[in-house]
Amino acid sequence: MVKRIAAIAFIFFCTSVAWMILGGTISARTNDLSGKLKSSVGSTWGTPQNQLPPSASFTVTRQVKVDREQFGKTVSDFVDTTSNVSLPLESSDIHVNFELHHRQKGLLWYSTYGVQFDGAYTFTNTSTKDEQVTIQFPFPAGKAVYDGFHVTVDGVPVATAITNAGAATSLHMQPGQVVRYSVAYKSQGMDNWWYRFGDDVTQIRNFSLVMTTNFNAIDFPDNSLSPTDKKRIAGGWELTWRYSNLLSGFQIAMVMPEKLQPGPLAGQISFFAPVSLFFFFFIMFIITTIRGIELHPMNYFFLAAAFFAFHLLMAYLVDHISIHLAFIICSVVSIFLVVSYLRLVLGMRFAAVEAGISQFIYLVLFSYAFFFKGFTGLSITIGSIATLFVVMQMTGRIRWSEKFDKKPEIPVAR
């Protein structure tokens, strides 16, 4: 009996090493290509976007007296100097609409989105005379597409100079004049979207941003403002940020929901696989010992190989089909291998009931617990405790000294 247990432990150890190698291979495939694949997706779809508000300013020329030494005497000259004077941003009325589109590359899904931006801003000429004002609107990303980009001032389309940094509009403003500057575009990005007021604490007056999404799993990153109002709409949310006079160093942001990642999930399940096999071997050993059935270590070897087939097949199937479909296929294949094999060793009833149900619980259900992020550990713990309870009730009256000394009967295959 001791040699038998040692042989089973050796098989378990070798299979666990194989799982560690497989899990490491999956992680390496995922991590080594993640940067390259993300760059590839970003080059074709877009990168995270950071939208800043427009700024308005005009140039003032002043004469400054400059003293200099000439032939031992002080001579004064007047030099023209220029400086920019910024106009206050009186109000902001912004509407942003997001459409989420997940894209898969290799073993990873990427959260890409389409964004429709429409912003209206008002500026006031605080100067006492007419000024030639330039309004600069920065682009949210250097390398992106901006479809339908147009600028209006007081509802009238205006000429705009486009650079890599953004769009510049020049207009004549009278003293105290208020203009409504509007800009709209459609673009594409990835992972997250930010509306930044500035790098430091900034005063925001008469601000309104209404954001609509076509997804329900909304999330706001650290150092960002929560919406002042939330409302459910068909297929998503309508979120509102509204402030009359706010001083803040935080920004407005939205993190796009992620899809279940096939690569990391397959790696986690592979690293956890020894726990599933341990419980299965433990149950098989208890049942066969109680019933006096002989299950040779070579039988345990083939059972371990059938378990390993589940994870090996999943590792190379998840980058071709849906993770859920891959999981179902791998489960069916592995259970079929175990049941069809034990049918020949111990008969159909034991193979389908004791072995089949045990494999379904400890391989399939324990592995599927990783699909429920945040509840994996709790689910497996509950299953482990339930297993301990059942086994303790089954074996409470067993005389283990008699069982270990008794020679197992050799079953006849049925």
Same domain, 329 and 249: no
In a domain, 218, yes or no: yes
For residue 37, the model assigns a pLDDT of 64
Q: Are both 329 and 391 inside the same structural domain?
A: yes
More confident residue, 357 or 81: 357
DSSP state, 231?
E
- Same domain, yes or no, for 217 and 285? no
Whether the predicted pLDDT of 398 surpasses 80? no
Predicted confidence band at 232 (pLDDT cuts at 50, 70, 90)?
very high
Q: Are residues 265 and 246 in the same domain?
A: no
Q: Which domain holds residue 68?
A: 47-255
* DSSP helix/strand/coil, 197: coil
How many domains, the chain?
2
Residues 224 and 267 in one domain: no
Boundary (domain end) residue, out of 231, 255, 279: 255
**Final residue of a structural domain among 255, 271, 302:** 255
φ, ψ of residue 54 to 5 degrees: the values are: -70, 160
Residues 18 and 96 in one domain: no
352 vs 205: CA distance, rounded Å: 70
Same domain, 136 and 187: yes
| pLDDT above 80 (res 374) | no
Residue 406 has pLDDT above 60, yes or no: no
Enter the pTM of the model. Answer: 0.71
Q: Provide the CA 195 distance to its chain's centre, in angstroms.
A: 20
Do 249 and 388 lie in one domain? The reply is: no
Q: Output phi, psi for 256, to 5 deg.
A: -75, 135
In a domain, residue 226? The reply is yes
- Same structural domain, 210 and 282: no
Classify residue 411: in a domain, yes or no: no
Are both 194 and 70 inside the same structural domain? yes
Number of H helices, E strands in the chain: 9, 16
